[in-house]
Structure 1
Amino acid sequence: MTGSHRPALSRRALIGSGLAAGAAVLTASGSAFSAPGPTTAPAADRPSTARASAPRRAGAFLAAAMDAHPDHGAVRLAQSYTDQAGLFSTAFTYDNALTILAALAAGTADGRSRAMALGDALRYAQAHDPVYDDGRLRQAYNVGPYTFYDGSPQPDGFVRADGTANVGTQFGFTGTAVGDMAWAGIALAALARRTGERRFLDAAVRIGEWIERVGRTDEPLGGYKFGVDGADARLPFTSTEHNTDLVGLFGQLARLTGDRVWRERRERARAFVARMWEPSGGFFYTGTNDGVTVNKSPVPEDTQTWTHLALASRAHSRSLDWAAAELAVLDTADRRNSTVPAGQSYTGVTFSSAALLADEDAPIAPGQPKPDREGVWFEGTAHLALALRTRCARGDEARARRLLASIEKAQESLGVGQTLGGRAVAEGCGVVSASSPLDTGFGFGYYPYRHTGATAWYVLAATRVNPLAA
């Protein structure tokens, strides 16, 4: 680590400053954009149900999140978490990018229509920022009214009364991370590729150009830096995850535009990622805090799996085995901080090496529960399942199926009784972020609330769609 002993920020850390709406209550066989298909769980582990397939029920949750605030405008994003998470109507840019990709992965007319609506909402946010007109998106937006914890009202939907996009200022979600921008660009590029609509490609190119202007660095380790905070101050960190995202985005822009400049930019991002490789251990480090010194702890999951999805490098594919072995967790109901119901257990991976060393006697943050070191991070578990399916080495498919079976069991049994916009989520629809409270080691936690990001990654893994492939 650097002298400060502080990890480079994750894209998910807070970086702020000091279609007509349908019914939000869905049955699993109702309005959903995931195509029906057999569950990936082995028969012995598969929940007994006559309802729709697990991917279709995941799609029903994503549709409900998109329709959570039907009275507040046709231009809308999907609420990221169920109401119980305490983030009200927050819609993270990253989660909505994933929801677009999952909708396209379904291969249905409804999925395509919803993906286009979300893509147009991102374009609206890009064109109607209350402060900037430079192609950026913010970390998150509000998509429905609520009263904040201090009693102040937030009365608007995604589009405010003055026509500007409703930035998530209440929680400080006002900055712009390169990783969030990259994923939005990837989603818009996918829409351009699938629909042939130029407006989506133009928006993706604007994102890429913003990243080039703001993120490019000539520091010794190179690559692209983290982004800006809510006051538009550039952040000093450089993230392996972000640069991996850019390998995907820039490669896709190169293919769609035919402009060789995107290939040069892809190579800059790829070179940074390659510098983060630890050959003796077979894994990638998280990044750098200063552009000079590699940050060697904690080691996160996504820098192991996304690198394979973006690079498809046989020389680095051992990173999947490192993640599967070194970040493996088994959450059981008898663990003291576990919130898993009695008689249940879940397997998968955790967020980072630091999560395995979390202080189980201290809350993750003030007012939050104590962490379970064995809490399963289901989004990361889906990353690993998809990466294994992409690698296709001996035994990879069987390992991926076991991970998917755990996610499907979680969708069936965890997060019961939760709501979106005050409306009940249908039984067995939507994947929670974590099986139990989980301290990531990067200054924030994940909890057992149904989450569009985790659910969308499950859909991508179930349908074998690699969003980072160029």
Structure 2
Amino acid sequence: MSGRQDPALTRRTLIGTGLALGAAALTAAGSGAAHATPGTPAQHPARHRAQRRAQAFLAAAMDAYPDHGTTRLAQSYADQAGLFSTAFTYDNALAILALLAGRASDGRARAVVLGDALLYAQRHDPVHADGRLRQAYNVGPYTFYDGSRQPDGFVRADGTANVGTQFGFTGTAVGDMAWAGIALTALARRTGERRFLDGAVRIGEWVERNGRTDEPLGGYKFGVNGADEKLPFTSTEHNTDLVCLFGRLARLTGDGVWRERRARARAFLEKMWEPDGGFFYTGTNDGVTVNTSPIPEDTQTWTHLALDSRAHARSLDWAARELAVLDHAGRRNSTVPAGQSYEGVTFSSASLLANEDAPIADSQPRPDRNGVWFEGTAHLALALRERQARGDEARARRLLDSIERAQELLGGGQTVGGRALPERSGVVSASSPLDTGFGFGYYPYRHLGATAWYLMAALRSNPLRA
């Protein structure tokens, strides 16, 4: 991307460092099963079946290592992604929120288990005792690519939380912390249990101590790397998450300090707004200059979910128009089986300009510029349902239909913890390999985060409402 500023780091940039280390080869995906008809009404039995399958995937990801204790997080990706038993904090926060939104009889109980696991990690970090969570944890044993053995579950033999060191997932990002805090506040509200609110407050205080900046653009900075060194970037995505977390903490604690902190995060978002184009920029690399490229999807949809601002609602139209993709088997690098097609949005403006002649990263396949990012497609579907402008519900239903077809047809034969997944359960990250433009890619592997976002969109449950 010659001539462009380097993209500001997001939560997913750190994730990408692991994906580039040597994931397993891309497997053939899909089966010949029938799919739901586009335009299916929300109350149609096919949609309920799709939701039940998604909930079954969340349960399977959570129960993949039954011999390694009841204190556990859920594995984020199918084994075929090559990340072994990695459980990302962000994905597990989403799983909590989706379980609380869903209709599964054991949804609340499962959400409590995951929430208690986040609290355990907060209290039993192997190095720090300051309320932080790491980017990811290991939740089951495996042998790494170099032959080294990782023998533990989520709780190591010495009682500490099993931080994901093999892939370098040891840093602490403000966005991950915020989502964990949002999930804990949801549990606090649902259960009335004080421990969840206390954990969320500890997260908020960590962010205040480690993220607050007085740089010209303000807001809260990215977080720290695994060596506990502060990172210089400030993310629109992260500050959007904080608008929700701080707003919830203000409401639940009655402490006005959280309202001031929420206002600081929101002020940063206002500075990232581009009124002429009707979209939000990604953030800043130095706290002084706005980073104008690439422009990601989530800064358009999450801001609407968190702010519910008519003045900024055009960001959804920008995402739906400028990031729209249609993936099908006739495309050069598509991995979609013959006869299938999927519509939705891609990750960022840079994804549409990806070099289709080169792998995304070492040992990875070449990207498809029209690969559908299903997590982001669910963001957009939910945000359109929240906005409720003319045509929004119909567009959202088409997007949900696309995600449900993907759950039905893509990612066949994949496993979690070596165990076969329930049939047609779990949404893959992307319809075909896609380059995010932020140094990593997404692939057709069943994914906890994408599945959780699908459920929240299908159930009209906005996780960012304060």
The TM-score range, normalised by the shorter chain, is over 0.9
Which residue identity is paired with 1:12?
A: R
Pairs within 5 Å for 1:417-456: 417-456=413-452
Q: Which of 448, 458, 462 is matched with 1:462 structurally?
A: 458
- Output one character per residue of 1:328-384: Cα deviation in whole Å (capped at 9) or x when no partner: 000010111000000100000000000000000000001100000000000000000
Change (3 A) 1:191 1:48: closer
Offset at 1:426?
1.7
Partner of residue 5, structure 2 = 5
Contact 2:221–2:231 (8 Å) recurs in 1 = yes
Change (3 A) 1:41 1:249: farther
- Output one character per residue of 1:14-53: Cα deviation in whole Å (capped at 9) or x when no partner: 27999xxxxxxxxxxxxxxxxxxxx89524999997x961
Which residue identity is paired with 1:113?
A: A
Q: How far apart, CA to CA, are the structure 1 residues paired with 2:104 and 2:42?
A: 28
Partner of residue 101, structure 1 = 97
Q: Which of 375, 378, 381 is matched with 1:379 structurally?
A: 375
Change (3 A) 1:350 1:15: closer
Instruction: Please give the secondary structure, in 2, of the residue aligned with 1:157.
Output: coil
1:42 aligned onto 2:39:
yes
Instruction: Please give the secondary structure, in 2, of the residue aligned with 1:71.
Output: helix
Contact 1:129–1:165 (8 Å) recurs in 2 = yes
Offset at 1:457?
0.1
Can you give the 5+ residue segments of structure 1 that lack an aligned partner in the other structure?
Answer: 19-38
Partner of residue 30, structure 2 = none
Q: Which of 210, 215, 219 is matched with 1:219 structurally?
A: 215
Which residue identity is paired with 1:5?
A: Q
Partner of residue 297, structure 2 = 301
Offset at 1:298?
0.1
Q: Which of 281, 284, 287 is matched with 2:280 structurally?
A: 284
Change (3 A) 1:15 1:389: closer
Instruction: Please give the secondary structure, in 2, of the residue aligned with 1:81.
Output: coil
Pairs within 5 Å for 1:239-318: 239-318=235-314
Q: TM-score, normalised by structure 1?
A: 0.93
Partner of residue 136, structure 1 = 132
Partner of residue 59, structure 1 = 55
Q: TM-score, normalised by structure 2?
A: 0.94
Instruction: Please give the secondary structure, in 2, of the residue aligned with 1:14.
Output: helix
Q: Which of 296, 317, 320 is matched with 1:321 structurally?
A: 317
Q: How far apart, CA to CA, are the structure 1 residues paired with 2:315 and 2:382?
A: 14
Q: How far apart, CA to CA, are the structure 1 residues paired with 2:377 and 2:232?
A: 29
- The percent identity for this pair of structures is 81
Change (3 A) 1:233 1:68: same
- Output one character per residue of 1:222-260: Cα deviation in whole Å (capped at 9) or x when no partner: 000000000000000000000000001000111111100
Q: Which of 376, 396, 399 is matched with 2:392 structurally?
A: 396
Change (3 A) 1:170 1:292: same
- Output one character per residue of 1:54-109: Cα deviation in whole Å (capped at 9) or x when no partner: 11110000010000111111100000000000000000000000000000001444
Which residue identity is paired with 1:467?
A: P
Which residue identity is paired with 1:449?
A: Y
1:349 aligned onto 2:345:
yes
1:82 aligned onto 2:82:
no
Q: How far apart, CA to CA, are the structure 2 residues paired with 1:47 and 1:268?
A: 43
Q: How far apart, CA to CA, are the structure 1 residues paired with 2:232 and 2:3?
A: 15
Which residue identity is paired with 2:11?
A: R
Contact 2:40–2:401 (8 Å) recurs in 1 = no
Partner of residue 31, structure 1 = none
The number of equivalent residue pairs is 449
Contact 2:5–2:292 (8 Å) recurs in 1 = no
Offset at 1:427?
1.6
Offset at 1:393?
0.6
Contact 2:55–2:104 (8 Å) recurs in 1 = no
Change (3 A) 1:40 1:464: farther
Q: Which of 306, 330, 353 is matched with 2:326 structurally?
A: 330
Offset at 1:175?
0.1
Q: How far apart, CA to CA, are the structure 2 residues paired with 1:238 and 1:297?
A: 14
Change (3 A) 1:351 1:253: same
Partner of residue 148, structure 1 = 144
Contact 1:16–1:173 (8 Å) recurs in 2 = no
Partner of residue 118, structure 2 = 122
Q: How far apart, CA to CA, are the structure 2 residues paired with 1:15 and 1:331?
A: 24
Contact 1:2–1:289 (8 Å) recurs in 2 = no
Can you give the 5+ residue segments of structure 2 that lack an aligned partner in the other structure?
Answer: 19-35
Partner of residue 32, structure 2 = none
1:183 aligned onto 2:179:
yes
Which residue identity is paired with 2:133?
A: L
Instruction: Please give the secondary structure, in 1, of the residue aligned with 2:156.
Output: coil
Change (3 A) 1:44 1:129: closer
Q: Which of 193, 196, 205 is matched with 1:197 structurally?
A: 193
1:412 aligned onto 2:408:
yes
Q: How far apart, CA to CA, are the structure 1 residues paired with 2:282 and 2:17?
A: 24
Change (3 A) 1:48 1:256: closer
Which residue identity is paired with 1:42?
A: G
Change (3 A) 1:301 1:10: same
